Each structure stands twice: as structure tokens, then as C-alpha cells.
Amino acid sequence: MRMLAVFALALASCAGSDVRQDILRSLEKGLVAAPEPNASEAGAAILRAGGNAVDAAIALQFALAVTFPNAGNLGGGGFMLVHTKDGETSFDYRETAPAAAHRDLFLDAKGDVIPGMSLDTAKAAGVPGTVAGMALAHKRFGSLPWERLLEPAIRLAEEGWTLDAWSARSFASQRRNNSADYLTGKAGERFVQKELAATLRRIAEKGRDGFYAGETARLIVEEMKRSGGIIALRDLARYEAKERKPVEGSYRGHRVVSMAPPSSGGIALLQLLNMLERHDPPLLGFHSAEHLHLVAEIEKRVFADRSEYLGDPDLYPVPVARLTSKEYAAERAKPISPAKKTAPGDVTHGALPREKEETTHFSVVDRWGNAVSNTTTLNGSYGCGIFVRGAGFLLNNEMDDFSAKPGVPNMFGVIGREANAIAPGKRMLSSMCPTFVFKEGKLWLVLGTPGGPTIFTTVFQVIVNRVDFGKTLAEAVAAPRFHHQWPPLGKDADPISFEKPPADAVKAALEKLGYAVHVRGRIGDVHAIEIVRAVGFHGERAVVPVGACDPRGMGRTASE
């Protein structure tokens, strides 16, 4: 232990004061980085009880449904990326369209999209996947009993937890549908959720059948009938989470593994990295006009490909290998000029053979080197704003992630075409991007973020900040972010959005190129872990997980 303490002090001095405490707490132990402190502690408690990273992730997921209801959920879905000694796999627990859904579900008699119908009504809800996803992950990798993993969430719901100021303000802002009946309380008060506790108990006792059959399923269908939704008992009974092979590529010698379709995040991330790899960002200068312009040009092309080629791989042949190849990246990057901006109207998808931003993410590593990167969502903040009465949880509004009408933007300004049209049983396209980065063949970074279409651009920036600009993990996560996408959002011809205003000279240079500079709210809420492999003065080795929670949110690390 004395040798490990020396490592800790040495690493703390070079990693920056922001992560000093995390390093000292995390020696020879697992680590959790999550968006809400109670949920972080729930995951860490499972690690302390001898559970592995997947066990902790399952406990964390259910705890977030209690303490972070704007995005943590039972009534939504997501993607889990898992690393073990045998390699990587992933679990797709994305929601699906009910059997009664059809291509024109959100169109009026004239064929126009009905405003708000895919966001604020019960028809916006896809068949939830979260419980099935956790059950499948536990079946494959769980080591502790299923019911033990739900104990922290049940306790938080039954006994309550103290509302923090952020949650109290967030609750007060929600007055859609019946959400105001459930989201009540002031900062400092105890928030108790008896109905949700009962639902969690049914899941603990019966597994997936505690949600997709029996009392909970009956309550969901009753809410559908009451609120005008279309999820039926047969939709719940037929839902399946799926294990999928992740996508992978490389960036400057680092192996990068991320989520495959129906998430666009992994493919988009690899495309961004592949095109940037042809350049040397440090020579341009961090967030210089040249750097920002180069990334914006790359992002235009990635979003154009996303709209044309990506959808549910079970129903549409997504050309993964071609999209993620270095050769394709070279073709797409050829027209990029350092002195000229490509007009949005001149950007199309490449030639190939024939998410409001309220998602949430957490990362987990355990003492054995297993890791989980998990991103989950209701889509918009608090989903469609409808609680299942008697069951105490919110329903998603993920149906908005389909192309309600091919070529018409969704709530994030992202368009889709035939590959993402609505169809019964189909999974809607996502931008979620849980990611692993490997260095010299060993796991190095575990990361992800919420943020709708800014998800993969955020993960991209954190990786580039760490790899190219040499920032510590904490610095890479905290650094100001920007976002650009195609087609443009709003009235401006070609906007770049910044969290903080760029320097006057940078702003002037971008405007001279033809960009509109916007300042917006925060971009993303990254929760990341870096595996530091250190060598001591006498050749001793230590493996230290270092957590970094985004200063934009209220997340916290918790160790075993």
C-alpha cells in the first residue's frame, strides 16, 4: 500500500487538482462516474459488495430512475457497452415502435407534420427497453443476484431522498400532461415515490416479467387507453433487448470502440476521427478559427451521411464497414478547403454502394478491469411528460427520433430519410455514443455523454482534447465545447454554436468565412474514467482509475 500511495501522490501532481481526490480514493478499487450523487453511491455500494461493473451499472440504472427522472428511467431505453477480458460487446435496449404505429402516424390529412404530436402526447412513447436491457446484461455478465441489484433503488424510492436545488427547480419547470402531479417538492424536502417503489419490487421479484407482464404491463396499457397512446400488451410481451457487435476503428494508433446502429453515435464518431486524423490540430491551435472551421466542415459531412444511411440494422442494410473506413473518410474530406466554407446546400451524403438533449450517461470500471459505458434516455427532458399512474414512472417521447416525414427535421433539427421512417416494431435512430478508447492494447478511456445530436461531437472533442492537445482527463472534459451540424438549425445560413463566446478575432474570422456565431447553453454532461498505468521508481506497477465528472452538471464519482 505504501508503494501505491507514492503512485497516487505522483499521479495527483501531474493530473491536476480537479482529480486529486478521485485518484486517492480509487487505488486498487472500482470506480463509478455518474450524473447524480445518490445513484453514484448505489453503483459503488454494489462494487463494495463484490459485484462487477455490469452489476454496478444495473444498480445505477435503476437508481437513476428514482433520483434523476428527467433522463434516468424505466420507461425509456438506451445502449450499454461492455468490456471484459474476452473483449467487447454491447446491449441495445432502444425503444421500438408499437405494432399500431405507421409511417404517417404524426401527419395530418394534408400530409404535414402535426406540431408537438411526436413529443407531448402518449403516441410519442415507444415500447420501453430499459428493464429488458438490464435483464439481458445481467443474464450475460451479472454476478450478484438480480434482486440485490435493485435494493438501492427500492430503498431510495420507498424511504425517499433529499431534493437538491437543481432537481427542485427542474421539477417545478415541468407542467406537461400529468407530470405536475408527481414532480413535487422543495429543495431540502424528502421526495418519496411509493408507486415507483412497488414497481421496482415487482421487477426485483419477477425480472423482466415484472415490467412487461402482470400488474405493471396492465398499468401501462391502462395509461395508454386513458391518454390516447398505442402501446398494447402484445407490444410489451414481444419486446426484446439485443446483444450487438460494437463498431470499432482507430485514431492515431488508439483503438476506438463504440455503439453500432441503431445508434448513429459510433459510426459518426469514427467518421469524425477518421477525417480529422488527416490533419494536425495542435498546429492549427486549440479553438482557433482554422481549427473550428476544419471541424465544422467535417461535421457537415457526417450529419449528411447520418440522414441518408443510418437506421435500424434489423430492417435496413446500414453500410457500416464503408462508412467507417479510412478510404471513405479520405474521399469525404477531399473537398474541404482551409480558406473556404462549404455552403450547406452543397453538402450531400457520400457515394456508397447500396435526441431537447436530456439523455444521461455513466461509466463504471471494477477491480478486475471490466468496464461499462452506458447511455440512457427518455429523449426530451421527462419524456412525453406522462407518468404511468399507479406505477410511478415516466414514458419516453422517442417516437420523435423517427423521421415523422422524411426530410423534415425532428426536435433537434436533425433530418432523416427512408432508413429511419416509422414502421411497427422498428427501432428509431439514436445519437448515443458510449465509447471505449484503448492505448497500447489496454483499456484507457471509458466515456459518453447526453446531448441529442451533440453527443458524438462532444465525445469526439473530449477524445481529441486528450489525445491531440495533451489535456488531462479533467481538462479535456471541462474544456469549452462547440457544435455544428447539417442541415443548419434556425434561420442562419450556417451557424456554429458555442458554450462560451469565442475570442473576438476568432469570431471575426469565422464570420468572414460565412459562419453565424451563436452562444447557447451547456453542451453535454460527460462522465468519464481514465485507466492510468503507472510505473514506480523501482519498476513497480499500479493501475489507477481516474474519474472525471463534468463540471457542467452535478455528477459525482464514487469508489468501491
Each residue of 380-394: b (16+ CB within 10 Å) or e? bbbbbbbbbeebbbb
For residue 474, the model assigns a pLDDT of 96
3-state secondary structure 122-143: HHHCCECCHHHHHHHHHHHHCC
* C-alpha R_g of the chain: 22
For residue 12, the model assigns a pLDDT of 35
DSSP structural state of residue 62: H
Above 90 in pLDDT, residue 13?
Answer: no
For residue 9, the model assigns a pLDDT of 34
Above 70 in pLDDT, residue 212?
Answer: yes
Among the ranges given (379-383, 425-429, 531-535), the one the predictor scored with the smallest mean pLDDT: 531-535
pLDDT category of residue 405 using cuts at 50, 70 and 90? low
For residue 14, the model assigns a pLDDT of 35
DSSP structural state of residue 39: H
Q: According to the per-residue pLDDT averaged within each range, which of 25-39, 343-357, 421-435 is highest?
A: 421-435
Q: Which residues contact 44 (CB under 8 A, 6 or more apart)?
A: 30, 32, 56, 558, 559, 560
Q: What percent of the chain has pLDDT over 90?
A: 75
C-alpha cell at 270: 469514427
pLDDT category of residue 526 using cuts at 50, 70 and 90? very high
Residue with cell 442541415: 487
DSSP sequence for 515-553: PEEEE-S-----EEEEEEEEE-TTS-EEEEEEEEE-TTS
Q: What CA–CA distance (Å, rounded) separates 376 from 430?
A: 11
| pLDDT tens-digit map of 126-159 | 999 999 999 999 999 999 999 999 999 999 999 9
pLDDT category of residue 409 using cuts at 50, 70 and 90? low
User: What is the number of other CB atoms lying within 10 angstroms of the CB of residue 165?
Assistant: 11
DSSP sequence for 265-306: HHHHHHHHHHHHTTS-HHHH-TT-HHHHHHHHHHHHHHHHHH
Residue with cell 435503476: 62
Residue with cell 399500431: 100
Mean pLDDT, residues 342-367: 68
For residue 191, the model assigns a pLDDT of 97
Do 210 and 229 touch, CB atoms closer than 8 A?
Answer: no
| pLDDT tens-digit map of 31-51 | 999 999 999 999 999 999 999
C-alpha cell at 73: 428511467
Q: What percent of the chain has pLDDT over 70?
A: 87
Q: What is the pTM of this model?
A: 0.90
| pLDDT tens-digit map of 289-325 | 999 999 999 999 998 888 888 888 998 888 999 999 9
Q: What CA–CA distance (Å, rounded) separates 389 from 122?
A: 13
Q: 560 versus 218: which is more confidently predicted?
A: 218
| pLDDT tens-digit map of 179-193 | 999 999 999 999 999
DSSP sequence for 431-485: ----EEEEETTEEEEEE----GGGHHHHHHHHHHHHHTS---HHHHHHS--EE--
For residue 406, the model assigns a pLDDT of 61
For residue 344, the model assigns a pLDDT of 66
Catalytic residue among 84, 359, 449, 454: 359
Above 70 in pLDDT, residue 412?
Answer: no
**Share of the chain residues as helix, strand and coil, in percent rounded to the nearest 5:** 40, 20, 40
Q: Is residue 359 annotated as part of the catalytic site, yes or no?
A: yes
Q: What CA–CA distance (Å, rounded) separates 395 from 227?
A: 11
C-alpha cell at 532: 492510468
Q: Which residues contact 360 (CB under 8 A, 6 or more apart)?
A: 35, 64, 68, 71, 72, 375, 376, 377, 450, 525
User: What is the number of other CB atoms lying within 10 angstroms of the CB of residue 143?
Assistant: 15
